[in-house]
Structure 1
Amino acid sequence: MEQNPTTFAERVTAELDALHSEEKRVVLPRFFKCGVGEYGEGDRFLGVVVPDVRAVAKKNLFASLFDIEALLGSPWHEARLCALIILVQQSRKSVPKEVFEFYLSHTSGINNWDLVDLTAPSIVGGYLLENPQERERLYSLADSTLLWEQRIAIVSTLTLIRNGEFNDTYSLAVKLMSHKHDLMHKAVGWMLREAGKRDRRRLELFLDEYATSMPRTMLRYSIEKFPEPLRRHYLTMK
């Protein structure tokens, strides 16, 4: 029998709250920029660290999408993270289309960089690795007006990169190169760096063409693993 979703969400939130730290309750909203006018404005934190959120998620892997949807609607950041981790763990072997669509239809609850980075590669990237004919969805996300959907687009390619597929990462990097937000500069640079760790020559060729037009933070992130002389070479191109 399916649980009442409110009861499930309240119980899991209580389990999380029992693990909170008063210090973290104060520190985390600052770390995730939740002040007025900041990118995480209005988000609320119980004060629970990620390993403890994972432990609570592990105890609740039986949750249905109905349960997860209720938890993902929580005002508490850690509750939403727990919901997403449950979804990731349930889909470890293969990501069903239903889960992929559920994730992308609930991006209003995936509204900070940690929520994206800890889950998008597994769910969106995992599904698109198995279903390459649907990768146009990445470009639709990149065209979104929502920062977090744009970040989902590029960070999801981490799974493709780990499987030796780089084309979408480089195409999205060009598409997102003129983005104004520092969080996107970091995300794109991170994915370029990951691609370059596996094929440095291809990254060098990309930078030869685009280094002069890339935001400096994006460039710095992308060349972080380069030898120092090569790093200096690209930095002096700016």
Structure 2
Amino acid sequence: MNPIDIKKEILFFCIQNSKEENIKKYSRYFKGGFVGYGLDTGLIEKKVKEIISENKMDIQSAYSVCKLLVKEKEYEIPSFALLMLNEFSKEFNDETFREIGSWFSLGINNWAHTDVLVMYFFPVFWKEEIICLEDLSNWRTAENKFQRRCVPVAMIKYLKHSTDYPKMFAFIDSMMMDPEREVHQGLGWFLRECWKKDRTQTEAFLLKWKNDCARLIIQYATEKLTKEERLQFRKEKV
């Protein structure tokens, strides 16, 4: 079956298994509501394995199908792409990194798909040294805010492999004035994880930025501090 036919099969499967109650439930997690079919996650995982097996797919054919799937606005369709490519994790290489990078110009447009993408792919990228931190340089200024969010969220996984905090903080320095909330959340999340591992260096970086960066970054990053400890990270009054 060719990629277009596989996509058609997936669309039909989603329509056949749509659940209105799930659509209502998922809507609370998405600003502006949930656009999708309300499928149970387990169903998607099972269908992905079935499609790969029946079509004797390899990673190259997965790339072709996934490019078609990530363009769709219904939530489950890009989810199929993420799960499908993840089935080939043992074959990930630098081409895989380039492929998922291209997805952001096609249709990755919410925090959930962004964070799942990080969860599936980046642990392998870092562990197998498929990429280095500098390979994310262009992502920091990408047009898609979710590709920019991906940088600090992916760096959380990088913390398992590096303790070079000056290097990591220098890498995100240019992102600290990003205008988008989703990026602020990602940066704050990363800095909170850094704080758990090296409080001194992380707090020094936060003090440097406390008067200029978005307050949401500071809020997320200092979440584990006591009320009294957070006082030093308040923006100074001019």
Scaled by the length of structure 1, the TM-score of the pair is 0.80
1:158 counterpart residue number: 156
Structure-2 residue corresponding to 1:99 = 96
| Residue pair 1:158, 1:191 contacting (<8 A) in 2 also | yes
Which deviates further from its counterpart, 56-65 or 75-84?
Answer: 56-65
Between the two proteins, the alignment pairs up a number of residues equal to 228
C-alpha distance in structure 1 between counterparts of 2:44 and 2:77, whole Å: 8
Listed one character per residue, the Cα deviations across residues 8-60 of structure 1 (whole Å, up to 9, x for unaligned) are 1222333344443213335545642347xxxxxxx831123545444444544
Structure 1 residue identity aligned to 2:37:
L
Does the alignment pair 1:11 with 2:2? no
Residue aligning to 1:211: 210
Trace 1:161-180 onto structure 2 (pairs within 5 A): 161-165=159-163, 167=165, 169-180=168-179
Which segments of 5 or more consecutive residues in structure 1 lack a partner in the other structure? 36-42
Q: Give 1:80's aligned amino acid.
A: P
2:204 alignment partner, SS class: helix
Change (3 A) 1:132 1:102: closer
Question: What is residue 220 of structure 2 aligned with on the other side?
Answer: 221
Query: Quick one: structure 1 residues 53 and 225, their matched pair in 2 at CA, closer, same or farther if it must change by over 3 Å?
Result: farther
Worse-matched range after superposition: 93-102 or 185-194? 93-102
Task: Provide the rounded CA distance (Å) in 2 between the counterparts of 1:159 and 1:104.
Answer: 17
**Identity, % of aligned positions:** 22
Distance (whole Å) between structure 1 residues aligned to residue 8 and residue 115 of structure 2: 25
TM-score, normalization by structure 2: 0.80
Structure 2 unaligned residues grouped into runs of 5+: none
Structure 1 residue identity aligned to 2:140 = A
1:1-238 to 2 correspondence within 5 Å? 3-26=1-24, 28=26, 31-34=29-32, 44-62=35-53, 63=57, 64-91=62-89, 93=90, 95-107=92-104, 108-124=106-122, 126-131=124-129, 134-165=132-163, 167=165, 169-235=168-234
